Structure 1
């Protein structure tokens, strides 16, 4: 194990509120006060938080557009024995936010990296979802293009862990429709929106009911959205359930492969593309 360099400053990964400004730890406030410089994803956004807690400190911009350029500047500050705190607009930095590259550089230079834990939207959503929390996977934001969404969801269909994904308000209906074709209309899902904010909504239901509910009132799709999708209880990862294969083999005795796949997928409410890909690999 490498010893951390005591001749440098520390890099602090500081969690901040995801909505409610009071959701911050005493340690986060103390760290924001005591670091030499705060590297913020959005300076004006962070200033609101600092002003609320009467924190006066130097802030520099650090976001996805200038991350590579600012990495060297931050590294230089740290090597000059000054402490830097990274904050994102909301929640825990580096989760869908910049910071990975500078953390990687710090480990390489043996500069101490200290996490200051706190709010995380994904964890807050799954904890209140009513869906199994023992094992889960976090997939971040859904891709923009339909083909890529389909490809992503087809892979996740075989997932035996609870799935956490983020989606935007303008694409949510489209994504849920694609999801219902792949996962089936009766798939259990929790829709979490605006966690900790005034319009916070957490609704557990079936996919078909969720689509209908969102369509009935446009304002329901507005805000920051997290989807918690129930694990596949019938299928094991990368292994099609025995009953489904048995059905396919029986049907295939009387019909061509493509037709047998279509009929089997209808019987078991399984996406035909997933079954087709699996059959081809065997």
Structure 2
């Protein structure tokens, strides 16, 4: 229904950003269903995928595709309809829209046009994974998906090696093992990583371990390389003052770092100075 504030003046509609289940359909909220049934149009990442969800819940509202390839242009027309008084909902294939999913351009254009944007919260894979990971969650970072190509992925992991907060990423199942192997090479064997896979679904798995152990576990079981994956990574451990390097070890490490990659410099410095290789590695990462 179009609401008018005064004769002849039409108030704009509302854009509802609606979270949908990431697996278990019982996670759909009554409020989300009410919104989806009463809006004029649902903008969906994939209308064919969403049709099954909407049919399950008896939602007959018309849908339109709003995805990475058409979102900029489609948003202009959708915002015009909301300015004319229509309410709309935005959904992704699963979970909360905009979290590594389309929707940013529509939400931004709606807000810039003065359209009310209302979140309808619900399932979100990264928050569900973090809540069950057992790693510090008072401060955390989300990296979305890392680059698909090995070189870009390793560069990004090098930068994340010194991240002082718990951090998370989504990874495609066919790249999961390669990503973990890169982490092992760059972070060393002891950094804690939690794999949260197929959350809320039948074969939900949440496994935390030092990277070296987690790599072997995933490598040995191909079933762990299937489905939707979230990785939660321990922050770089803060060095304790009592474990500070002596000046000679620091000098040797600095010289080697000027000529060698971090991992190789730390290993060689350990042989020369007798310091622990992991400690030298962490110090070297802090200088990178």
Determine if the TM-score, normalized by the shorter chain, exceeds 0.5. Answer: yes
- Residues 1:87 and 2:108 aligned together: no
Residue 203 of structure 1 is aligned with which of 204, 207, 217? Answer: 207
| Aligned length in residues | 272
Match of 2:252 in 1: 251
Aligned CA distance change for structure 1 residues 95 and 255 (closer, same or farther; 3 Å): closer
Kept after mapping to 1: 8 A contact 2:256/2:265: no
- Residues 1:228 and 2:238 aligned together: no
Distance 2:118 2:242 in 1: 44
- Secondary structure of the residue that 2:199 maps to in structure 1? coil
Kept after mapping to 2: 8 A contact 1:160/1:235: no
Residue 9 of structure 1 is aligned with which of 4, 13, 17? Answer: 13
Residue 57 of structure 2 is aligned with which of 49, 53, 58? Answer: 53
Kept after mapping to 2: 8 A contact 1:183/1:271: no
Distance 1:123 1:276 in 2: 28
- Residues 1:120 and 2:124 aligned together: yes
Q: Which moved more, 1:204-213 or 1:269-278?
A: 269-278
Q: How far 1:49 sits from its partner (Å)?
A: 1.5
Distance 1:255 1:58 in 2: 64
Structure 1 unpaired stretches of 5+: none
Task: Show the 5 A alignment for 1:184-199.
Answer: 184-199=188-203
Distance 1:255 1:94 in 2: 44
Match of 1:20 in 2: 24
Aligned CA distance change for structure 1 residues 209 and 112 (closer, same or farther; 3 Å): same
Distance 1:63 1:276 in 2: 39
Distance 2:95 2:253 in 1: 52
Residue 63 of structure 1 is aligned with which of 60, 63, 67? Answer: 67
Q: How far 1:70 sits from its partner (Å)?
A: 0.9
Match of 1:139 in 2: 143
Kept after mapping to 1: 8 A contact 2:253/2:280: no
- Residues 1:182 and 2:196 aligned together: no
- Residues 1:104 and 2:108 aligned together: yes
Distance 1:177 1:245 in 2: 32
Q: How far 1:6 sits from its partner (Å)?
A: 7.2
